[in-house]
A and B are shown apart, each in its own frame.
Chain A
Amino acid sequence: MCLAVPGKITDLDTNLDGVPAPLRCGKVDFGGIVKKVNLAFVPEAAVGDYVLVHVGFAIARVDEAEAARMFDYLRQIDELEDLEEDGR
């Protein structure tokens, strides 16, 4: 339920285990190890994108901008608190 791991799409193909299908599969690289992953639930994802993979399925595309923004959070709330203190 919880274990979903981010990996980078390195390849896209359209066959699923040799059975012709409109479903998208591809290869995802997890920091050095590559596995075939079903990409049906991330139609917008392209080669080079990072996706979150759970039991062989990509369940989301990783939003890289949001990922970076997270590291500003502490500074932002510090600034907010400074403003609040100044306002008193």
Chain B
Amino acid sequence: MRFIDEYRDAGEARQYADAIARAATRPWTIMEVCGGQTHAIARFGIDELLPPFLTLVHGPGCPVCVTPVELIDKAIEIAERPAVTFCSFGDMLRVTGRRESLLEAKARGADVRMVYSPLDALKLARANPAKDVVFFAVGFETTAPANAMAVHLAAREGVRNFSVLVSHVLVPPAMEAILSSRASRVQGFLAAGHVCTVMGFTEYEPLARKYRVPIVVTGFEPLDILQGVLMCVRQLEAGRAEVENQYTRSVRREGNVEARKLIMEIFEVVPRRWRGIGSIPASGLGLRAPYAAFDAERRFGLAERGFGLAEPVEEEEEGECLSGLVLQGLKRPPECPAFGTRCTPEHPLGATMVSSEGACAAYYRYRHLAGVGA
């Protein structure tokens, strides 16, 4: 496949591995923000190609992992209402709320459907006017244009039985929350290439300046990640702290102007709770007032149980779960005492092990022959 296979070339990968080993003269800690990058690193064994003193930590770039427990509970509550068809991406179906997951609710009889695109949910709504079709609008900025388009079309066509349960989160505020934490040991970032394809990367320039960290916008194929790491290491070695774009075949500085316009027409920035991290101001998207009719929380009377900054961050996970620390890059999965023993994908203690994109699950599934504790 073009624009995929050439970026998985073993010979080029080895050359990058050599270049990184030559460039790095001391230990560095780099965070990659996106769950898709975590997945690629694990699937292709990329950290096997890096010098041992270069540490890659995995950030909170898994929208499934950071969706608050109470939102999953609301999703299930809505799915159980009569004449509701609840649609979701596959990733969200296995994550458990307080008691169970959407998949388990489906096993008990709730009409839960997996869809590939939000437009599939809209299509269901048009075809079934007697049903309330609700779409679980989860994601970072990459998915926001698609979700915005679904709401835009629903409004345009007057598809009244369609609504969305919104759980959109934004990357730059999360990165800032990590950088501003005194415990943070992150020295450089690989920013999420597809988020930046939509949003551009101007938002990262003030972060690089303020916190003096290099930020390299990076793609998802092995050569992209290796090149991103090399660019980041070179900046670190030279004492530079700039935003650079590795993923130039897809990312422009201004991003996708059409997509951003539609996002801002349908959504506005709101505070959001991140599972395992807590409330981060201005870190999410919510529907603007003119589109309130499409807000599933309002439609099903669950909005008053929302979460504001005033609410304390509850303990959401079992006692020994460290997913919050893992999401912030403060601990690596193998450093958790429960990893692989009391906490596995079959018996997960937290969201980072349940979601297949979570750092803990990725480490567990693809752990390398260098040893489980590597």
A interface with B by C-beta (< 8 Å): 1-6, 8, 16-17, 19, 21, 23, 30-31, 38, 40-43, 50, 52, 54-57, 59-60, 62-64, 66-67, 69-71, 73-74, 77
Q: Are A1 and B36 in contact (CB under 8 A)?
A: yes
A-B contact count (CB 8 A): 124
Q: List 25 A-B contacts (CB under 8 A).
A: A1-B63, A1-B195, A2-B193, A2-B220, A3-B36, A4-B142, A5-B4, A6-B1, A6-B4, A16-B153, A31-B2, A50-B3, A52-B197, A52-B250, A55-B118, A56-B117, A56-B146, A57-B149, A59-B256, A60-B250, A62-B250, A63-B248, A63-B250, A66-B249, A67-B3
A19 to B227, CA, bound (A): 44
Q: Are B146 and A74 in contact (CB under 8 A)?
A: no
Q: Which residue of A is nearest B120, CB measured?
A: A56
A83 to chain B, nearest CB (A): 15
Q: Are A1 and B194 in contact (CB under 8 A)?
A: yes
Main secondary structure of the interface of B (DSSP, over half): helix
Q: Which of B11-19, B94-102, B176-184, B333-341 contacts A (4 or more CB under 8 A)?
A: B11-19
B interface with A by C-beta (< 8 Å): 1-4, 6, 12, 15-16, 19, 34-37, 39, 61-63, 89, 116-120, 123, 126, 139-143, 145-146, 149, 153, 157, 192-195, 197-198, 220, 223, 227, 234, 248-251, 256, 258-259, 262, 357
Residues in B neighbouring A73, C-beta threshold 8 A: 227
Of all A-B residue pairs in the complex, the 10 with the closest CB atoms, nearest first, are A2-B36, A56-B117, A31-B1, A6-B3, A67-B249, A1-B140, A66-B248, A66-B249, A41-B259, A1-B142
Q: Are A55 and B258 in contact (CB under 8 A)?
A: no
A42 to chain B, nearest CB (A): 8
Q: Are A1 and B35 in contact (CB under 8 A)?
A: yes
Q: Are A4 and B194 in contact (CB under 8 A)?
A: yes
Given A2-B61, A40-B258, A73-B227: A62 touches B249 (CB 8 Å cut-off): yes
Residues in B neighbouring A50, C-beta threshold 8 A: 2-3
A5 to B116, CA, bound (A): 13
Q: Are B197 and A55 in contact (CB under 8 A)?
A: no
Residues in A neighbouring B262, C-beta threshold 8 A: 41
A57 to B262, CA, bound (A): 13
A42 to B213, CA, bound (A): 32
A3, A43, A73 interface centre (most CB from chain B within 10 Å): A3
Residues in A neighbouring B227, C-beta threshold 8 A: 70, 73
> Given A1, A4, A67, which contacts B61 in the complex, CB threshold below 8 Å?
A1
Q: Are B249 and A2 in contact (CB under 8 A)?
A: no
Q: Are A59 and B12 in contact (CB under 8 A)?
A: no
Q: Are A54 and B3 in contact (CB under 8 A)?
A: no
Q: Are B2 and A6 in contact (CB under 8 A)?
A: yes
A40 to B119, CA, bound (A): 13
Q: Are A2 and B37 in contact (CB under 8 A)?
A: yes
> Given A38, A43, A55, which contacts B116 in the complex, CB threshold below 8 Å?
A55
A71 to B6, CA, bound (A): 10
Residues in A neighbouring B197, C-beta threshold 8 A: 4, 52, 59-60
Given A1-B139, A70-B249: A54 touches B123 (CB 8 Å cut-off): no
> Given B61, B143, B256, which contacts A55 in the complex, CB threshold below 8 Å?
B143
Residues in A neighbouring B61, C-beta threshold 8 A: 1-2
A64 to B223, CA, bound (A): 16
A17, A57, A71 interface centre (most CB from chain B within 10 Å): A57
Q: Are B146 and A54 in contact (CB under 8 A)?
A: yes
15 additional contacts (CB under 8 A) given A16-B153, A17-B126, A57-B149: A1-B34, A1-B139, A2-B357, A6-B2, A38-B146, A41-B258, A41-B262, A54-B194, A59-B197, A62-B250, A63-B250, A66-B249, A67-B3, A67-B249, A71-B6
